[in-house]
Amino acid sequence: MDALEAIRLRRSVRRYTDRPVADEDIDELLRLALLAPTGGMSQSWGIIVVRDPETRAALADIVMRGGAEYFAMMRPPKEGATPEEHREWAAGYAQQALGTYPQVPVWIVGLLVPRDLFPEDQRGRERDADMVSVGFMMENIFVAARAKGLGTVPTVFQWFCEDEFRALLGIPEPIEVPLLTPLGYPEEFPTGLPPALQKARRPWRTLVHDDRWGNPRQEAARA
């Protein structure tokens, strides 16, 4: 599978088998990840590869509990539901959506490791640039994993249990954890978006502007 096809076919995978991922495949993904662009070759990033069974189980539990917090925040409660009932619904939804996470064989944790190369009054801009670089790094993993038949999904649910997550992996301040991903073989690859999300997808031409903001991208001339 070439890179263009891997980009077209990449989907967020939330249902995994417990099939092991070969060390050689993990190492190749990591090498490809670190070929991502980074401003001034600052390389203000790091990766934690989690394979220890006990740590994986604890990490999956944190992510699933964080997912329940996220779903409770982002999904409106059913009419008449109490806050407690809504939280119970969110926990059940997280279990349904993420229930195979405890058997994921590998977790890849992307880190922002500040280098403090900019002048002190520009550190906010440096952090923004570093955050983008971490995103580039993780995207390399997402695309390369798909080319190898492996599933991933950008995950930020650890934000809702940050102190516990940091303690589990021994991550000190000021290192940040913008995102992580499970890595494994999917029960099946999604072939498209669920109907509700498909309806929400905005036409790409409404998101692209020619030359300046507010000038929608025009249809390419056909020969």
- Residue 141 to residue 147: CA distance in whole angstroms: 10
Confidence grade of residue 207 (pLDDT, cut at 50, 70, 90): very high
CA 5 to the chain's CA centroid: 20
The one-letter code for the residue type at 75 is R
| Cβ pair 9, 144 in contact under 8 A | no
* Domains of the chain, each with CATH number or no CATH: 3-193 (3.40.109.10)
Average pLDDT, the chain: 94
Confidence grade of residue 223 (pLDDT, cut at 50, 70, 90): very low
Q: Provide the percentage of residues in the chain whose pLDDT is more than 70.
A: 98
CA angle (137 as vertex; 132, 142 as ends), nearest 5: 115
Q: What is the pLDDT of residue 221?
A: 53
CA angle (154 as vertex; 150, 159 as ends), nearest 5: 140
DSSP readout, 143-179? HHHHHTT-BB--B-GGGGGHHHHHHHHTPPTT-EEEE
pLDDT of 91 higher than 60? yes
Q: Which of 158, 160, 147, 152 is nearest to 181 (CA)?
A: 152
Q: Of 82-91, 140-149, 151-160, 186-195, which range is least confident?
A: 186-195
| Cβ pair 35, 140 in contact under 8 A | yes
pLDDT of 36 higher than 50? yes
| Cβ pair 26, 106 in contact under 8 A | yes
Tokens of 128: 């923004």
Calculate mean pLDDT across residues 13-22. Answer: 97
pTM over 0.75: yes
DSSP readout, 40-88? GG---EEEEEE--HHHHHHHHHHHHHHHHHHHHHHSPPPTT--HHHHHH
